[in-house]
């Protein structure tokens, strides 16, 4: 295979709200970003991110009447292309972040060099892998089956209905509690007799009169038709070894998310579940010049609008870095592209050769003398 070499000031991984917002900003800043994304259905990595598998998005500001997820992402993409973003559909197999320019190698034979890298590869909701769960038309996904209560719970199809939430962690408790605002009744189906969720989240769900728990039970199949949507679930009680059909109108799978960070293991700092760590005051990771935005670094808010916001922040951080301005790091220090380090207390600058100089401006220094 021939290798195609490319070199860019800004390379962005991912075409969800975070990646494309970073593209819009860096393209408008004349940095000609290259956005790389893969179309890998097997790994649930699809261009456009998780909004491509949602139906109506009612909470993205600026669309008073709501907008379909895929349509919203097409708008993002067109806006990024309008300012000169280049999009490369390729599977990144390996990255080398040990020195700048960073190197990215794709399965298709590209070798991409990046002066700055913005990682917006997102997270994927975990699915059970049972019949009826796949996206329409293969299953009822998007037609009564969802992995996001905040996105889909308020839709008319779920109002005053019997809904099933699968899972026993914080996400399941949060989604079940949220859904009680709209649903007639919410049934949490959990495979064990004990919840994994934190005490406070458990208590909220256990004391909610609209939530009922179905313990030691697995969902084996989601039942329904294209016309009627979800009509029930096939349950299996692993204590009694019995199967039963449980009528319901919607199913929310809440068994966790998986950040798409495999590629960066051993090279970037992550939390125990694999989310990339960023600085807090910037979107910098622990490697100067590498930034992260969106769900790949956020296990908490996970909204399209927060992803887009952090994409904008990462873009501004990358622009600052390329302008040789200091960028806050997770350690509290600030670093420049040239390797200068401003100490966390802002009092000193450590130069690339190790020389330490005062960070006070001359006037202040002479006034202090
Ligand atoms: P968790 O991994 O904590 O929980 C996943 C749950 O899904 C577990 O109860 C697990 O069962 C169940 N599960 C996993 N796989 C399957 C399967 N194949 N079939 C049936 N059940 C399955 O994920 P969460 O998304 O709930 O939480 C992830 C992290 O995010 C946590 O640290 C959590 O605290 C945090 N979080 C915090 C929130 C908040 O504070 N507001 C909100 C949401 C998440 P089992 O228990 O048997 O393993």
Which pLDDT band holds residue 290 (cuts at 50, 70, 90)? very high
Ligand 1 neighbour 250 (Cβ under 6 A) = no
Is residue 312 part of the annotated active site? The answer reads no
Q: 4-124+257-328, which class in CATH?
A: alpha beta
* Predicted pLDDT of residue 119: 98
- Exactly one of 37, 40, 152, 228 is catalytic; name it: 152
Instruction: Examine domains 4-124+257-328 and 127-253 and report if their fold is the same.
Output: yes
What phi and psi values does residue 116 have, to the nearest 5 degrees? -130, 150
Q: Is 248 a catalytic residue?
A: no
Question: Residue 39's pLDDT band (boundaries 50, 70, 90)?
Answer: confident
CB distance 196 to 164 below 8 Å: no
Is 96 catalytic? The answer is no
- The structural domains of the chain, with segments of one domain joined by +, span 4-124+257-328, 127-253, 339-368
Phi, psi of 330 (to 5 degrees): -55, -25
Atom of ligand 1 nearest to the CA of 190: 21
Q: What is the pLDDT of residues 119-132, one digit of tens each?
A: 999 998 899 999 99
pTM value is 0.80
Say if domain 127-253 classifies as CATH 3.90.79.10: no
Q: What pLDDT, on a 0 to 100 scale, did the predictor assign at position 63?
A: 95
What's the rounded mean pLDDT across residues 15-22? 97
Top-confidence residue, 318 or 1:
318
Please choose from 178, 196, 198, 301 the residue to mutate so as to test ligand 1's pocket, defined by most ligand atoms within 8 A of CB.
196
pLDDT at 361: 77
**Orientation of helix 199-206 relative to helix 170-179, angle to 10°:** 30
Rounded Cα distance between 256 and 235, Å, is 20
């Amino acid at each position: 295979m021939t290798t195609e070499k490319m070199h860019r000031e800004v390379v962005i991984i991912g075409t969800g709200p975070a990646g494309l917002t970073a593209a819009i900003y860096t393209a408008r800043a004349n940095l000609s970003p290259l956005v790389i994304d893969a179309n890998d259905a097997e790994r649930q990595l699809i261009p456009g991110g998780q909004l491509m598998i949602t139906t109506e998005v009612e909470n993205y500001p600026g669309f008073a009447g709501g907008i379909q997820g895929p349509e919203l992402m097409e708008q993002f993409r067109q806006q990024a292309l309008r300012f000169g973003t280049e999009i490369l559909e390729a599977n990144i197999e390996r990255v080398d972040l040990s020195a700048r320019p960073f190197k990215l190698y794709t399965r298709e034979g590209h070798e991409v060099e990046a002066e700055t890298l913005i990682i917006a590869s997102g997270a994927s909701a975990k699915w059970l892998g049972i019949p009826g769960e796949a996206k329409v038309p293969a299953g009822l996904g998007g037609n009564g089956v969802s992995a996001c209560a905040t996105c889909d719970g308020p839709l008319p199809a779920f109002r005053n209905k019997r809904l099933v939430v699968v899972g026993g962690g914080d996400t399941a408790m949060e989604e079940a509690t949220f859904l009680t605002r709209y649903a007639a009744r919410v049934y949490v189906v959990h495979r064990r007799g004990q919840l994994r969720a934190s005490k406070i989240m458990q208590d909220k769900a256990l004391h909610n009169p609209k939530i009922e728990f179905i313990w030691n039970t697995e969902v084996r199949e989601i039942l329904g038709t294209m016309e009627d949507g979800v009509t029930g679930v096939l349950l299996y009680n692993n204590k009694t070894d019995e199967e039963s059909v449980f009528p319901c109108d919607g199913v929310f799978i809440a068994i966790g998310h998986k950040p798409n960070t495999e590629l960066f293991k051993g090279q970037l700092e992550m939390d125990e579940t694999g989310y990339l760590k960023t600085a807090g005051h910037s979107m910098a990771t622990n490697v100067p010049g590498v930034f992260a935005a969106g769900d790949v670094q956020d296990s908490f808010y996970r909204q399209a609008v927060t992803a887009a916001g952090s994409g904008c922040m990462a873009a501004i951080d990358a622009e600052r870095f390329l302008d040789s301005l200091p960028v806050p790091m997770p350690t509290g220090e600030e670093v420049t592209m040239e390797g200068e380090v401003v100490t966390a207390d802002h009092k000193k600058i450590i130069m690339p050769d190790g020389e330490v100089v005062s960070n006070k401006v001359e006037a202040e220094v002479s006034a202090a003398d």
